[in-house]
Structure formats: structure tokens, C-alpha cells
Amino acid sequence: MNIYVELNKVIKYIEDNLEENIDYKKLSKMIGINEYTFQKVFLLLSNISISEYIRNRRLSNAGQDIFLKNEKIIDIAMRYQYGNSTSFSRAFEKFHGIKPSEARKNPKKLKIFAKIHFNEINEPNKSIEYKIIEKEQLILYGKYKITTNKKIKNDAPNFFKQIEKQYGEAQYGMIEYKEKERINVKSYWVLYNKEIEKLEKIIIPKSKYILIKINSQEEKDIQKASDIFYQDFFPSCKYNFRDLPELEYYHDGITDFLIPIEY
């Protein structure tokens, strides 16, 4: 399966149904993966969540409709799945920077959010080596930093260095998500496998994991392996991902990248 070809089919379906209710489960079935995985894959490959993409496309079209068509604003709001004029006006102004009532007088201020097109000639990496392991309950101690999808690539290594400077060599890094679907990053932790004063105690229950062994502890190598996993392996993965954080275990000059799963 070429994931980029399949995603372009999803984009076409969305475009054809912007004036209708769009069911994420139906979109995920078009690709043959579960809804949670679909949302994660879409975000990773497009750098925008599926909900934000659909909302932006609707608001972009709504701005054009207000300017080009002699229709009531409430009718346009209803067309693009807004239940009332208040919620539509609020969303419209946040997106375009002007109220719907001003759009006909100031069309130059309207924003255009273009339809996404995925490059279908992108070739996935040939393979990724992994195995399934089971780890007993972990009792760890550490500190965390609140971060986001966009900031974590800088926040994680900087925070890691800061904590190691204070407390010595750490054994684990950990990523928490805001929701079970694992779409939005919540925080990044630096963790130790021994009790240290002033560090918070974290208990991670016994779980099965996908283990990817990375022959490095360099941030760039860990990030590359993570990108390969989520962009190439994740879309076709049939395992169910458990609502637990991801772990990076550093030992013997290598990194174990651990993604929690359940059957």
C-alpha cells in the first residue's frame, strides 16, 4: 500500500463532502487502519490534524461563498456544518481575521487554505527491525516539561541536558500524550531508575511493547528512527496501541525505543 496514494483519495472524499458530516471512522476505513492510527498518521504526514484541516477548508470555502454568492450568512454557516451563527462567526473571525459581515466589503482580507496534495512518489523505507517484548512494572523518578508537537524536537534534548547536568546520567526519556489517540504531545520526561530527592515518582504498569533498537543515543538518530516508525511502519501496523507513554531506554551505548501495545 502506498499511504500517500490512499491519503489523496481521502482528501478527495473530504473535498467532495465538505458540506456534509464527515465521519473519521469512514475515512480510516478507506485506508484500512483504525481511527486512532489514521488521525496520528494524517497529523504526522501533513503537520495538521484532520479536524483542523477539515475546519480550515470549510472556513476557506465559506469566505469565498460569502463574497461570491448572494446568500444569507446563516445559510452558509449551516452549509458548512455550523449549528448557529455565533459559533460560525467566532470560528470565521479566528480564521480570516474579520467578521463574516465584513467579508463582502473586504474580500482581500479573506484567507485561502488550499487543499492538501500528498506526493505519491515518496517511497517508504524498505524495512524496520522490531520485536515484541513484555516489561514488568517500572518505578521511575524524574521531571517533566510541558511541550507540543512542534516544540518537542528542541525541548526534549535541551531539557534532557538540563536535567542530566543537575542529577547525573539518566536512564529513560518518556513522551506523554494528551489523549488516547496519541495525536498531541503533552509532556516530555527525563527519568531515573533510582529514587532521587526532589524528583517525582512515576509508576508504569506491566505492558507489552514494540521494541526498536537504535544503535546510538544521539538525538538525531533517535528522532530519525521515530520518524521512520510513524511514517512507514505505523500506518500498516495491526497492533492496538495502549494508553501509556512512549519510552526511550538508554543503555550500553544504544537506545531502546518502546511503544506500548495491547492485543
- Residue whose C-alpha cell reads 515518496 in the numeric block: 122
Per residue in 9-60, pLDDT tens? 999 999 999 999 999 999 999 988 888 888 888 888 888 899 999 999 999 9
Express each pLDDT in 100-122 by its tens digit: 999 888 877 888 888 888 877 65
Least confidently predicted of 53-67, 94-108, 173-187, 227-241? 227-241
Domain boundary, last residue among 109, 144, 166: 109
- Summary mean pLDDT of the chain: 88
Same structural domain for residues 140 and 81?
Answer: no
Is the Cβ–Cβ distance between 222 and 250 less than 8 Å? Answer: no
pLDDT at 124: 47
Q: How many domains does the chain have?
A: 2
Q: Please report whether residue 122 resides in a domain.
A: no
| Domain range enclosing 41 | 3-109
Task: Identify the band that residue 237 occupies on the pLDDT scale cut at 50, 70 and 90.
Answer: low
Considering the domain architecture, whether residues 150 and 250 belong to the same structural domain is answered as yes
Residue 117 lies in a domain: no
- Grid cell, residue 171, equals 536512564
**Bigger pLDDT: 249 vs 128:** 249
Inter-helix orientation angle 35-46/50-68, to 10° = 70
Could you tell me the three cell numbers for 234?
505505523
* CB atoms near residue 81 (< 10 Å): 15
Question: Measured between alpha carbons, how far is 69 from 104 in angstroms, rounded to an integer?
Answer: 10
Q: Record the cell numbers describing residue 224, joined without a space.
A: 530519525
C-alpha pair distances (Å), 55 with each of 27, 141, 182: 15, 41, 20
Quick check: is 115 in a domain? Answer: no
Do residue 187 and residue 223 come from a single domain? Answer: yes
Q: What is the pLDDT of residue 2?
A: 76
Q: Has residue 235 got a pLDDT over 70? A: no
- CATH number of the domain encompassing residue 8: 1.10.10.60
pLDDT in tens, 119-148: 776 554 444 567 888 899 999 999 999 999
For residue 56, give every residue at least 6 positions away whose Cβ sits within 8 Å of its Cβ, in sequence order, or none. 48, 95, 113
CA–CA gap between residue 69 and residue 65 (Å, rounded): 5
Q: Phi/psi class of residue 195: alpha, beta or left (left: φ > 0; alpha: ψ in -120 to 50)? A: beta
Catalogue the E-assigned strands of the chain: 131-135, 138-146, 172-177, 185-192, 200-204, 207-214, 240-241, 246-251, 254-262
Residue 123 within any structural domain of the chain = no
- Answer yes or no: is 119 within a domain: no
Whether residue 49 lies inside any domain: the answer is: yes
Element spanning 258, H or E: strand 254-262
Q: What is the pLDDT of residues 67-94, one digit of tens each?
A: 888 899 999 999 999 999 999 999 999 9
DSSP state of 233: I
Calpha distance 22→54 (Å, rounded): 9
CA dist 172 and 189 (Å) reads 8
Q: Count how many residues are written for the chain.
A: 263
Does pLDDT of 240 surpass 80? no
Q: What is the pLDDT of residue 226?
A: 82
| Residue 181 reports pLDDT greater than 60 | yes
Q: Dihedrals φ, ψ of 151, to 5°?
A: -95, -20
Please check whether residues 136 and 257 belong to one and the same domain: yes
How much is the pTM?
Answer: 0.59
Q: Are residues 173 and 254 in the same domain?
A: yes
- Let me know whether 150 and 231 are in one domain: yes
**Rounded CA gap, 87 and 37, in Å?**
29
pLDDT per residue as tens digits for the range 219-234 = 888 888 887 777 666 6
What local confidence, expressed as pLDDT, does residue 36 receive? 82
Per-residue pLDDT band at 1 (split at 50, 70, 90)? low
